[in-house]
Amino acid sequence: MDPPRPCHRIRGGLAIAAVAITLSFALAGCKQQPDNQPTKPPSGPKAHLVELATVRAGTMRLASVYTGSLRHRHTVRVFTQEEGRITRLPFYEGDTVTEGETILELDDRLLRAQRDKSLAVRREAEASLERFQRLKKQGLVTEDEFLRAETALEVAKAEARILRTRLSYTRVQAPFSSIVAARLAEPGDIVQRHTHVLTLVDPSSLITELGVSELLMPHIAIADEVTVHIDALGDEQFSGQVLRIHPELDARTRQGRIEIELKPVPAAARAGQFARVTFIVEALNRKMIPFSALRRDRDGEFVYRIDDTETTRRVAVRSGERLADRVEVVEGLSAGERVVVKGFLGLIDGTQVTPVGESAADTTTVGANAQPSQ
């Protein structure tokens, strides 16, 4: 007799048969799908969605901030006009000087002696001319001798005037009420002619000089009111006025020079302090677009304009003042045209687009443009 087979072999055969039956059913189910079922057609190119803004022009209230340093408009450097020893120099830095007050004296003894000599020569020439006048009436001198006597007297008078003028240079008076800003010598020093001894400043002539954009220059006039903020004096705002507009612009920076006068001068203001000047001007017929519409590359600034067929056109532009999230367009666009502000990914010249929104550029805007002076 054959030996009995193990039970685990029977169970393994049953498991294999069950798996085979399951796979056959699955394959049969897949074949039951109809062969003529319609398939999805391939999708076409997606629409390029963009957001637009309309270029608008109008009056724009422009606030521009420029920075500079305070300085004295009226400054005088005192030089010696004679050589000699300083005998008196009474004022120091920070001292107040009254107009006409003596601020410098030099030793004048040598010049006084020369003046006395010239006066003696003059008296001698006068006496000699009187004698020649009497002799001329008697016919005892020639006309040439008489002319030489007149010339000698004129030379003596001129010499006396020269020495009188040189003596006046040994005493210097303050030309205006001022403050001593620098003292560069001391009593006892021997100074040569044209030596810088003192610097005087007018404390009431405090100004700041600014470099201002060429775009702002046409809107500024002399005596225009401005606001001045001096950092060293806290948050207080001071009144200023346009004192002078220089006639030429810097060809490199395209900036003009403007002098701003503080009226009145704050008590704690000092030359050299940092100042911020705010100009408020009305700019007419300024074209504005959102700043996000402005693109830049190595060829310069440009925007994507949308034509009547909803197609992009790359347009080169020149921008002006930026006011918050808006920017002025000086060249390249006209009022009423539409430009792209969003949807630049993959956008090129000649792209067919689908606008999904539009925002108008606000033309009555208060902005700030901070430019440091050079």
User: Where in the chain are the domains?
Assistant: 50-62+285-372, 64-73+204-281, 84-107+170-203, 108-169
Q: Categorize the per-residue pLDDT at 49 as very low, low, confident or very high, splitting at 50, 70 and 90.
A: very high
DSSP letter at 250 equals -
CA angle 115, 118, 124 (to 5 degrees): 145
Percentage of residues of the chain with pLDDT beyond 70: 83
Which of 365, 297, 300, 295 is closest to 326 using CA atoms?
Answer: 365
Q: Check pLDDT > 60 for residue 39.
A: no
Question: Which residue type, as a one-letter code, is found at position 128?
Answer: S
Q: What's the pLDDT score for residue 141? A: 84
What pLDDT, in 10s, does the model give residues 205-218?
Answer: 899 999 998 878 88
Q: Check pLDDT > 70 for residue 75.
A: yes
- If one compares 334 and 18, the residue with the highest pLDDT of the two is 334
DSSP letter at 352 equals B
Q: Check pLDDT > 70 for residue 12.
A: no
Q: What's the pLDDT score for residue 219? A: 85
Q: Categorize the per-residue pLDDT at 13 as very low, low, confident or very high, splitting at 50, 70 and 90.
A: low
Q: What's the pLDDT score for residue 19? A: 44
- If one compares 293 and 6, the residue with the highest pLDDT of the two is 293
CATH number for the region 50-62+285-372 comes to: 2.40.420.20
Q: Categorize the per-residue pLDDT at 322 as very low, low, confident or very high, splitting at 50, 70 and 90.
A: confident
Q: What's the pLDDT score for residue 237? A: 93
- If one compares 54 and 216, the residue with the highest pLDDT of the two is 54
Q: What's the pLDDT score for residue 284? A: 65
108-169: which CATH architecture?
Answer: Orthogonal Bundle (1.10)
Which of 290, 288, 293 is closest to 340 using CA atoms?
Answer: 293
Q: What's the pLDDT score for residue 359? A: 64
Q: Check pLDDT > 50 for residue 271.
A: yes
Q: Check pLDDT > 90 for residue 280.
A: no
CATH number for the region 64-73+204-281 comes to: 2.40.30.170
- Rounded CA separation 181/199 (Å): 5
Annotation: CATH topology of 84-107+170-203: OB fold (Dihydrolipoamide Acetyltransferase, E2P) (2.40.50)
Q: Check pLDDT > 50 for residue 32.
A: no
Which of 351, 353, 349 is closest to 314 using CA atoms?
Answer: 349
- If one compares 373 and 334, the residue with the highest pLDDT of the two is 334
